[in-house]
Amino acid sequence: MAKIICIANQKGGVGKTTTTVNLAAGLAKLGQRVLLVDLDPQGNATMGSGIDKREVELSVYDVLLESATVQEAVVKAESCGYGVLSANRELAGAEVELVQLAHRDQRLRSALALVDADYDFVLIDCPPSLSMLTLNGLCSAHGVIVPMQCEYFALEGLTDLVNTIKQVHANLNKDLKIMGLLRVMFDPRITLQVQVSDQLKAHFGNKVFDTVIPRNVRLAEAPSYGLPGVVFDPSAKGSQAYVDFARELVQRAPSL
């Protein structure tokens, strides 16, 4: 059975997409069968996996509107070792189109159920909003990984996300929980970041993953080559951290 995980945080630019593509590549390296679902109309995870979003014939949009199955729409990211359900601008329209449809928040869940035996992990890259697209992600998933920067305002956004997750848990998907907070873009030379990191650990305990992802320019450069950092430069500190994180996730997954 696939472990289905949303990478979510309604703030933009906090490292969701970077986490999704690098975790996918890291898990693939460890021999796990991985499907990446790009739920952001920006299509950054699609492009960052080496798939041209303007050229894909079937995307997650077609799956949400039930004009294609996951199996039909999935594209193999050849250099990365995982499958991608891609996204492009068309997906922005799905938001409006879904409103009129029955079970509009359960569409992705139903579609993923058909490929449950084909993957060990399904990673869903969510858009930076608590929208119908994100709701489809949350209704499909066993849990949420929240990437966050160790900055003063990081915790503010967390309250809204936690409340949404609680509501989805209560009304739509009783499996859903927060699997953990992942500290990303971490710079140990910045005292405030170390303090916030310590506070997170003190407050949330084992809901904070042990692995910390450092700020590392190679992770930021990799997307322009259409690759996750883990594939583009495996020896970079950031890439190694994501593979460590993949290992931590595999170890902890049964209890998450």
Q: Are the C-beta atoms of residues 193 and 186 closer than 8 Å to each other?
A: yes
The nearer residue to Mg ion, 39 or 241, going by C-beta atoms, is: 39
Given the rule CB under 5 A, which of 38-46, 59-67, 96-104, 107-115 is the region that contacts Mg ion? 38-46
Given the rule CB under 6 A, which of 10-18, 30-38, 138-146, 190-198 is the region that contacts ligand ADP? 10-18
Does 173 contact Mg ion by CB under 5 A?
Answer: no
Does 219 contact ligand ADP by CB under 6 A?
Answer: yes
Does 133 contact ligand ADP by CB under 6 A?
Answer: no
Question: Contact with ligand ADP (CB under 6 A): which of 44, 49, 59, 164?
Answer: 44
**Tokens standing for residue 91:** 């997906």
- Angstrom CA distances, 85 to 91, 135, 256, stand at 12, 17, 24
The nearer residue to ligand ADP, 122 or 230, going by C-beta atoms, is: 230
| Nearest distance from C-beta of residue 190 to ligand ADP, angstroms | 13
Q: Which amino acid is at 142?
A: H
**What are the helix (H) ranges across the chain?**
16-29, 44-47, 60-64, 70-73, 90-99, 107-113, 132-140, 154-171, 191-204, 217-221, 229-232, 237-252
Question: Contact with Mg ion (CB under 5 A): which of 17, 19, 46, 136?
Answer: 17
Q: Are the C-beta atoms of residues 80 and 25 closer than 8 Å to each other?
A: yes
| Nearest distance from C-beta of residue 33 to ligand ADP, angstroms | 23
Question: Contact with ligand ADP (CB under 6 A): which of 4, 5, 16, 228?
Answer: 16
3-state secondary structure of 15: coil
Q: Minimal CA–CA distance to 155: which of 205, 198, 196, 206?
A: 196
The residue whose two tokens read 């119908």 is 132
Judged by the rule CB under 6 A, the positions of this chain that interact with ligand ADP are 12-18, 44, 128, 184-185, 213, 215-216, 219-220, 238
